[in-house]
Amino acid sequence: MPQEIRLCLLYRDMWQSAGKYMPRHDQLTQVAQPIIDMGCFARVETNGGGFEQIQLLSGHNPNQAVREWCAPFNKVGIQTQMLERGLNGIRMNPVPRDVRKLMFQVKKKQGTDIARSFDGLNDVRNIKDSITYAKAGGMIAQAALSVTHSPLHTVDYYHKLATELIEHGADEIAIKDMAGVGRPASTGELVRRIKKDFPNILVQYHGHSGPGFSVATTLEVARAGADIIDVSMEPLSWGTAHADLLTVHAMLLDAGFSLPDINMKAYMEVRSLTQSFIDEWLGYYISDSNRLMNSMLIGPGLPGGMMGSLMADLESNLSGLNKWLEKRGEAPLTQDDLLIRLFNEVEHIWPQMGYPPLVTPYSQYVKNVAMMNVLQMIKGRERWSMIDDNTWDMLLGKSGKVPGKIHQDLLDLAKSQGREFYDEHPQDLYPDALDEFRAEMKEKGWEAGQDEEELMELAMHPQQYRRFRSGEAKAEFLADLAGKKAPKEVPASLPQAQAATAPASPRSLTVKVNGQPYKVEIAYGDESSSTVANPIAAPAAVATPVPLPGNAAAYDILTPLEGKFYLTRETSDTPLKVGDKVKKGDTIGYVEAMKVFNAIVTDREGVIVSLKPNGTSVEEDDILATLQ
């Protein structure tokens, strides 16, 4: 009798692997029934990862999205699954223990059946906590092995990891090959060994198609006994996403496996709806290059899930870099020039950073450091001169233990900066915080929500949730979207020279969000792509510069990269203000860029006489603060 094998549709991840944003809740519920009607899926990945942050950033309530999106699948018995990042929950940095526990409880009540939990460092301590919390919340605990290819990451290494997690209580194992660099034969051998030792443990394979191994790997793991295969579908398969449903289905049928038929009428409806979501607005955030497979990814091993944001980061950093080069009379670089330099730098520094598996968020950290190294070295500065706090936390052991040895240059740098390494359980560094956030909600008159889901959202994503509640997030998103659409609206009848210089629409417009007017500025052409959203009724406070004495020398602190400037990283931190004294090495604030907070420090002492407001969008070399 043919071996039965099941399929899971990665509707969340195929979007995240393509670009920055996700469909709205109304679009998700619209496509749910046709996905059900396709008749071939045992599971659908509905949420997790960056899903909730993305909903918040576009001004939508992620809790409403998850509940409405999961409900149709719950009704017909198709299992729903989410991706969560262990110590980091569903964000990019560590989460307090009580917030993690609440997250699993909320997600189960919202309709999510399975928690796929991984740790970017494969630190068993962090995954074991997730297994415990998921089961306590009533969810199926699926423990993921984050696959990468290095001298340390062998079949023996992963088999030992799987054994520890199963013995701790994992209900299922996921082979999570986020970069698609797992070699087919060794990945198949890993599945074979897990199934031999634990025949009753379900094994699910997840592989991105980027460098081209995943189809062959799918066949190998299926023959080795894998139970479920993750797939994408057009128009968001292949490239930095995953192998296509139709290809995988036909291949497995030909290999003698038993699978349910695909209702092609429903398939075409899902395909058409997904394309319409892209055409409406999401296409503005999907780089064409993310639709291509690229064997150059074998070397740096960067995952498909972050390639969408990588290309956007590359574009914005290239713009700032070329402005810097232009000011100095130097030739500009192309995107390909910068991409190759970035890939080479990732290969160079990855071993030196201890071979952290290249999965979110640690792939982002390695990529960010590589990007900053490339940019700094082009400008004549030293490698490692700009390392964000999140990356330092990883290197120091505050997020878990990296598998390999850290290079002596980084050890020396940590010592020179007074940084200490940490060997205890990472979770102990992040104390419970729900009471703090409950107090904030009470003070602001916000409801904790059904099953305390709004409280969970604030505690999980404080900055983004506050901007969502104020309306700033939606206003800024709409302005950004308007800026991206505007160049396409230049009338064809304009003379060519005039069309090249005339803005396609007004440089400012007013956006209403929940009745609150916001004035937004839109940039065109070579100007900043960032937007500023200020409530008309309550303008953002701007720090008033203090006049300098006639004989005083002013010193400007410049931002080394484009992003958003924040005065603090955590709610409990005290922000600096005009008039404060600072000494050499003090942190002025943070620039959030490429999904991390980059500390901006001063290399001299002085008194702050001017300071950028909190939440300001900044370009490279903008003045963040002036010291006297």
The answer to whether position 416 is within a domain reads yes
User: Residue 286: pLDDT band by 50, 70, 90 thresholds?
Assistant: confident
Q: What is the CATH number of the domain that holds 566?
A: 2.40.50.100
CA distance 206 to 211: 14
* Residue corresponding to tokens 């409950």: 438
332 in the same domain as 303? yes
In a domain, 463, yes or no: no
Is 448 inside a domain boundary? no
Do 190 and 278 fall into the same domain? yes
CA distance 127 to 119: 6
Q: Which of 93-102, 248-257, 287-296, 579-588 has the lowest mean pLDDT?
A: 287-296
Kindly report, residue by residue over 355-394, the tens digit of the pLDDT.
998 887 888 889 889 988 998 898 888 899 889 888 999 9
Residue 217 burial (CB count, 10 A): 28
| pLDDT band of 271, cuts 50, 70, 90 | very high
Which domain range does residue 510 map to?
A: 471-535
144 and 282 inside one domain: yes
Q: Is residue 608 part of a domain?
A: yes
Q: Is the pLDDT score of 292 beyond 80?
A: no
pLDDT at 296 > cutoff 80: no
Residues 383 and 424 in one domain: yes
Asked which of 121-125, 157-161, 390-394 is least confident by mean pLDDT, the reply is: 390-394
pLDDT at 442 over 70: yes
Q: pLDDT at residue 78 above 60? A: yes
Q: Between 599 and 438, whose confidence is greater?
A: 438
Q: Tell which residue, 373, 370, 317, 300, has the closest CA to residue 148.
A: 300
Q: Say whether both 329 and 181 belong to one domain.
A: no
Choosing from 273, 289, 305, the residue where a domain stops is 289
Tokens representing 52 are: 């909730």
522 has pLDDT over 90: no
Q: Across all residues in the chain, what is the average pLDDT?
A: 86
* Amino acid 503: pLDDT: 41
- Let me know whether 264 and 312 are in one domain: no
- Residue 44 near residue 240 (C-beta atoms within 8 A): no
Average pLDDT in the 33-57 region? 95
pLDDT of residue 304: 57
pLDDT confidence tier of residue 560, bands split at 50, 70 and 90: confident
pLDDT score of 305 more than 70: no
Q: Angle CA(247)–CA(250)–CA(255) in degrees, nearest 5?
A: 120
> Among the three residues 289, 316, 344, which one is the final residue of a domain in this structure?
289
Coarse DSSP helix, strand, coil percentages of the chain, rounded to the nearest 5 percent: 45, 15, 40
Average pLDDT over residues 429-438: 96
pLDDT of residue 546: 44
Give percent of the chain with pLDDT exceeding 90.
60
Count the domains in the chain.
4
Query: For residue 16, what pLDDT is reported?
Result: 87
Whole-model pTM? 0.80
